[in-house]
Chains A and B, each alone.
Chain A
Amino acid sequence: MSSRKLELAKKRNPGLAELFDRTSAYIRAQIIHNRQNFIIPKLAAAALDMNDGEAFILLDLLAQEDLLRRVYNVYCRKNGILLATVDALEALDTIPHCDFCDKDHDPSDLKVEIAFVLKDDELLTMAA
């Protein structure tokens, strides 16, 4: 069984079809085998042998095709602890207390990383 949305994305972007296949295979491997909830562009770039910008564009295109959803992982800049995952940067004002530093960080003490999560299970159910 193939993903209808992925096939549509490939039809709309025929030049990217092979890259979409590689990226979706990577996403499945990360979620099923590596048990990762987030698809992070820099890790996708390393695994797919491309640069961060290329990986981000591919993931963002899959988000535009309704297969992924863009989120923001918010870390304590000093200790690299994941504090929250938010849907919009406006939510940076509501970041929870950092237990590791035992303080409420100012926005400049936070590091924001763009990540992607599955919109639904469509990419997971398709044949590899």
Chain B
Amino acid sequence: MSLAYSEIEGKVLRMKWAEQQERTSLNETNDGVVSIPVFKRVVLIADFGEKIAELRLNPPENRHAYTDNSGRPTGEAYYNAYIQKAKDMIGSPIVPLDLRHVIKSLVEEQEPRVARIHIDNHTDQQNYRSKTTGPNADVRDSPDWSLIYQASGNKWSWDGQSFYWLPKASSGFLTREVFTHIDADEGFVKVNADCSDEEVGYVISQIRAR
């Protein structure tokens, strides 16, 4: 990881790292290995006034410098390296946001909905994990899902949910639906690579508000 810049503006620390990784795949026509260099950017934004920090990372490729105990490059090792770097820079312990609570409050919201739920992934009290994927609608509009949710949804543990934030409920911030996957089990939020800074800012503000 190479530091690209570091700046402090008021109580906000902003740091950016960059690095090159490799995306390797098999060339099926000649059995050779194709390797493409891919640049990765990582940004840390720490607001010491609000006591909130964000770490924004590109997803890893399959060849990089972060390895597990067996020497294999893993996504977990890549993420952990930057989380540790962020902790070192901030100089204090970090407590992750409670993302299950965020999902729960988003699911509970009635009209006007701020987001369309594309994929629901929860665990019930008998420890059965269920995943529901909507075609192009909201899983809450599925009569079957709704019936089960009414009966026992208040005791579900929310593991991962995919949302599309809706422009009509965004007070003009969004001009298109913005995809977000919240993985409460692993503790991260994923947005698409083509999102603008404003769209990412909107998603994060909506998550923090809950």
Interface residues of A (CB under 8 A from B): 30, 34-36, 38, 40, 42-43, 45-47, 51-53, 80, 106-108
Contact = CB atoms under 8 A, between A and B. Distances in A.
Nearest to A77: B76
A34 B100 contact: no
A40 to B, nearest CB: 7
A34 B127 CA distance: 10
Interface in B41-74: 68-70, 72, 74
B74 A43 contact: no
Contacts of A34: 125-126
Contacts of B141: none
Interface size class on chain B is 10 to 19
Contacts of A106: 68, 70, 72
A107 B68 CA distance: 9
B202 interface: no
Nearest to B68: A108
A51 B101 contact: yes
Given A51-B101, A106-B70, A108-B70, A45 B157 contact: yes
22 contacts: A30-B125, A34-B125, A36-B126, A36-B127, A40-B127, A42-B100, A43-B127, A43-B157, A45-B100, A46-B100, A46-B158, A47-B125, A47-B155, A51-B101, A52-B98, A53-B98, A80-B129, A106-B68, A106-B70, A107-B68, A107-B70, A108-B72
A62 to B, nearest CB: 18
| Shortest Cβ-Cβ A-B pairs, 9 listed | A108-B68, A46-B157, A42-B157, A51-B98, A108-B74, A47-B155, A43-B157, A46-B155, A34-B126
B110 to A, nearest CB: 20
Contacts of A35: 126
Interface of B: 68-70, 72, 74, 76-77, 98, 100-101, 123, 125-127, 129, 155-158
B18 to A, nearest CB: 25
B72 to A, nearest CB: 7
A58 B172 CA distance: 44
B160 to A, nearest CB: 12
Interface centre among B72, B127, B156 (most CB of A within 10 A): B127
Contact of A51 (B69, B100, B125, B156): B100
A108 B60 CA distance: 15
Contacts of B123: 42-43
A44 to B, nearest CB: 9
A34 to B, nearest CB: 5
Given A106-B72, A108-B72, 18 more contacts: A30-B125, A36-B127, A42-B123, A42-B157, A43-B125, A43-B127, A43-B155, A43-B157, A46-B100, A46-B156, A46-B158, A47-B155, A51-B98, A51-B100, A106-B68, A106-B70, A108-B70, A108-B77
Nearest to A29: B125
A29 B125 CA distance: 10
Contacts of A38: 127
B59 to A, nearest CB: 16
A127 to B, nearest CB: 22
